[in-house]
Structure 1
C-alpha cells in the first residue's frame, strides 16, 4: 500500500498503539457514563439521600483532582505511564465492584458511596493523566487533531451508550446492579492497555526528589502565556457553571418531574451523542473556520443547550432537553478537541503529566466545587433556581473568550512558540501573547 493510500486510512486502523489507547479510553468512558447515572440513582432511590447529599455526591470523583492532581502529575512524569494505567485501572475496578456486593449483602450506605466515589476518582487521576500523556507518543504531531477528534468522538459515543444503557439497566435491574456494567467496561479497558506495545524511554529523574519544585513547574507552565491562561480560565468558569446544572439533573428529572432512571439516562446520553458528532466533525470544522474561532464561539450554543433544561416537563416536554443537550454536547466536544490539541502541541513531552495535572486541578477541581455549590444552592433557591444560577455562571466563559485578548486569533496554532529547529517565529506578534 502506498504512503498516500495509507495516510487516507483512519488513524484507528493504521496505528495499532493508538487503536489500543482508543479502545481503552472508549471502554473506560462507557463505564464512567454508567456510573454517572447509577451512583446518584442509588442515592436517590435506594438510600433516600437528601437533595444536597445527591448534589455533593456528583463532585466526589473530581475532588481528588483538586487535592492531589499536582503531585500525581509529577509522578506520571517521573515513571513509565503504562504500568501506572494498569495498576490504577485494576484498583478502580475493585472499588466499584464493592458497591453491588454491599447491596447484595444489605450493608450499602451513603458513606460507602462517598468513599468509593472519592477513591475511584483518585485512581482515575492516575490513569487519565498517564493515558493523555501517551497519546502524543503514539501518534505523529500532524495526527494529533485526528487522534484527539477520534478520542473525543468515540469517547462521547461510549458516554452516550453508557448513559442510555446504564439508565435502562438501572430501571430494569436496580441501580446497584447496574454497576456491574462499569466493572465489565473497566476489565475491557485494562485488557486493551495490557496489549499496548509502546516503547517508553526511562524518564529522566534527578536523584533529589523535588516534588514541590516540579509541581510548581506545572502550575507555572499553564499560566505561562496569555493563550494558555485564557484556555484555563474559560474552561474553569465553564466547568463551574456547567457542573452545577449537571449535578442537579438527576433531582430535576427523577424527584421533581417524576421520570424514570431510564429517561434520565437517555436525556444525558443526548449530550454524549452530540459530543460524538462534534468529535468526528471537528477536523473539518476547525479547518474551515479556524481552531481559534471554534474555541471562542462553540461555548455560546453550549450555554443555550444547558439552558434548555429549564424548559423540560414530563412526557413530550422532555424534547427540549434532548435537543438542547445534544447541541451542548456537540459544541463542548469541538471546544475540548481544539483546546487539547493546542496544549499537546506546545507542551514539552517531559511535562505532559504535569501540564495535565495542573490544568485539571483547576478545571476539573471546579467540577467538585460546582457540586458543593449545587448542594448549597438547591436548599437556598430550589432545583430550578440552582440550575439557572449554573447557566448564568457558565455563560461568562464564552463572553470572556469572545471579547478577551484572543478575540482576533483565527488559528490557535498561530500562538505556538517559534520552532527551535528552524528558528521560524510565530505568525502572531509577540505582543499579542
Structure 2
C-alpha cells in the first residue's frame, strides 16, 4: 500500500495574518510606539548633554569629546557578554528594565542641576551607564522582534522599524535642537527621561507570550564559554560571516566619510554647521527610502541578490562627495551621498531579517551582540582612519578612500552563499558546525592545507598569511580539530529524527522532512 504524504495547508487565520500590515497588530504597534518615544528622547539628549556640559559646566572640546565617546564605548566593553546574558533572560523583561534604568539615570541630571550639584564626573557616569543599558536594550530588541511577529512578517516588521530609525535620524535632531533652544538643555533632558518611561510602559503592556529561555539538563556553561560560542557561531556561519564583514566595511567607510565631511566643511570650504547638517540629512533621507523599498526590492530581486545588486548600483555615487565645493558641486555631492546611503537603509532591513532567520532562537542574543560589537568597532576604526589619512595625505583623500570602500563593499556578499538567495524560507534555522569550512573540515585544517599548497608552489606570501590566520583561529578557539569536542553550543545540537520504521503508525502521516537546498548550509 502506498503511503501518501500529507502537505500541511495554512489556516485562513494564518493567511490573513500574513497579509495584514504589521501595524495592525496591537503588540507590534506598542513596540513601535515604544521605539518612537525612546528614539525621539535619545535624539534630544544627543544635543542637550554636550550643550549642558558647555554652557553650565564650561567643559572644553576634549571633555565634550570624552562625554560623547562614553555613550558608545559600552558596546566595545560589554557588547559580547551582553548577548549571553540576554539569551538567559526573557527579552521583554530586559527591555523594560533597560528603559527604567535609563529613566533613573537621565532623570538624575536635571535633578542635580536644579539642586545646584551637577558636576562633570556625574555626567560621565550617567552617560556611560546609559550606554550600558542601551547595549542590553538593543541586543534584546533585535532578539525579541522574531518572537513577536513571526518569520512570515519579519521583513515587513524590520522595514517598519528601520524606517522609524531613519526618520528619527532625519528629524529627531532638528526637533531636539528646537527643544534645547526654547526650554534649555536641562529641561530638555527631562523629555528624554519621559520618552524612556513611555517606552517602558508600552513594552510592559505587550501581551504576546514569549518562549522561555531554553534550559539544559546539564550545568549551564560559564558566561565566557557562551560568549565565545556566539562569536564562533557568527564567524563560522558563511552567511553571517559575510554579513558581518559587509557591515563592518560599510560602517568603517561611512564613518570615514562623515568625520572627513566635518573637517572639509569647516576648514576647507568654510561653510556653516547648518549646511553640513543639511548635507548629512540627505543621507538620512536615502536611508529612509532604502528601508521603505526594501521589502519590494527583496521580493523582486531576491533577498541575497538585492544586497549586492543595490550596493553595486548605488556605491559608486559615493565618489561624488569627494568633489564637493561651494556651488552646484555641493548639491551634486549631497545627491550622491543620498543615493549611496539607500543601500544602508535596505541592508538594515534585509540583512537583519536574514540574520534573524538563520540564527536559532537560543543564539539570537549572542549573534546580535557579536554584530553590535563588530559594527561599533568598525565605527571607531573609521574615525581613527579619517584623522590619520586626513593628517598625512589630505582630507579629500580620506573621503575618496571611504567612497572606494563603499563602492566595493558589495563584493563581500557577491562572493558568499547569499549571492543567489531569493527567499528567506530557503534559509531556515541551521545549526552548522562552528569553526568549519563548507567542505566540513576545521578552519585551521583548511588554512594549513592551503598554506602547504601555496608553499609548494612558491607563493610564500599567501602561505605565511594563511599560517598566521590559522594560529589566530587556534588561539581564539575558532577552528578546533575533531578531537577537541563539540563545535556547537549544547542548545544548538539538533536531535536526529527517528527512523520511519520506529514511528507509530497513525491515521495521518506526517510529511517527510525536506532536504536542505544545496550550497546554503
TM-score by length of 2: 0.70
Which among 411, 424, 427 is matched to residue 422 of structure 2?
Answer: 411
Deviation of 1:133 after TM superposition, in Å, equals 1.1
3-state secondary structure, aligned to 2:409: helix
For residues 344-387 of structure 1, give each alpha carbon's deviation from its aligned partner in whole angstroms, at most 9, with x where no partner exists: 11211121111111222212222233334445555545654444
Separation of aligned partners in 2, 1:312 and 1:41: 29
Mapped contact 1:55–1:371 kept (Cα < 8 A): no
Mapped contact 2:18–2:153 kept (Cα < 8 A): no
User: Computing the radius of gyration over CA atoms, which structure comes out larger, 1 or 2?
Assistant: 2
Which among 390, 402, 423 is matched to residue 513 of structure 2?
Answer: 423
Mapped contact 1:310–1:384 kept (Cα < 8 A): yes
Which among 210, 218, 236 is matched to residue 222 of structure 2?
Answer: 210
Q: Determine the structure 2 residue equivalent to 1:194.
A: 204
Q: 1:32 to 1:242 in 2, by over 3 A?
A: farther
For residues 385-418 of structure 1, give each alpha carbon's deviation from its aligned partner in whole angstroms, at most 9, with x where no partner exists: 444443344444223333x234741426344467
Mapped contact 1:222–1:228 kept (Cα < 8 A): yes
Bigger mean CA deviation after superposition, 31-40 or 232-241: 31-40
RMSD (Å) for aligned C-alpha atoms: 3.6
Q: 1:6 to 1:66 in 2, by over 3 A?
A: closer
Mapped contact 1:55–1:372 kept (Cα < 8 A): no
3-state secondary structure, aligned to 1:200: coil
1:75 aligns with 2:65: no
Q: 1:199 to 1:277 in 2, by over 3 A?
A: same
Mapped contact 1:56–1:371 kept (Cα < 8 A): no
Bigger mean CA deviation after superposition, 355-364 or 193-202: 193-202
Q: Determine the structure 1 residue equivalent to 2:463.
A: none
Which among 93, 99, 104 is matched to residue 89 of structure 1?
Answer: 99
TM-score by length of 1: 0.82
For residues 97-143 of structure 1, give each alpha carbon's deviation from its aligned partner in whole angstroms, at most 9, with x where no partner exists: 5566777859665x666554433222111011111111111112111
Separation of aligned partners in 1, 2:340 and 2:269: 22
For residues 310-342 of structure 1, give each alpha carbon's deviation from its aligned partner in whole angstroms, at most 9, with x where no partner exists: 444568765345423432332211112111111
Q: Determine the structure 2 residue equivalent to 1:62.
A: 72
Number of corresponding residues:
425
Mapped contact 1:74–1:354 kept (Cα < 8 A): yes
Separation of aligned partners in 1, 2:277 and 2:110: 19
Separation of aligned partners in 2, 1:92 and 1:121: 9
Greater RCO, CA 8 A, separation 6+: 1
Which among 360, 363, 366 is matched to residue 375 of structure 2?
Answer: 363
Mapped contact 1:167–1:261 kept (Cα < 8 A): no
1:29 aligns with 2:39: yes
Mapped contact 2:358–2:430 kept (Cα < 8 A): no
5+ long unaligned stretches in structure 2: 1-11, 432-496, 498-510
3-state secondary structure, aligned to 2:514: coil
1:286 aligns with 2:376: no
Q: 1:42 to 1:271 in 2, by over 3 A?
A: farther
Alignment of 1:251-330 (within 5 A): 251-253=263-265, 262-300=274-312, 303-304=315-316, 306-313=318-325, 318-320=330-332, 322-330=334-342
Q: Determine the structure 1 residue equivalent to 2:133.
A: 123
Which among 344, 363, 370 is matched to residue 332 of structure 1?
Answer: 344
3-state secondary structure, aligned to 1:223: helix
5+ long unaligned stretches in structure 1: none
3-state secondary structure, aligned to 2:381: helix
Alignment of 1:176-195 (within 5 A): 179-195=189-205
Q: 1:24 to 1:343 in 2, by over 3 A?
A: same
Q: Determine the structure 1 residue equivalent to 2:412.
A: 400
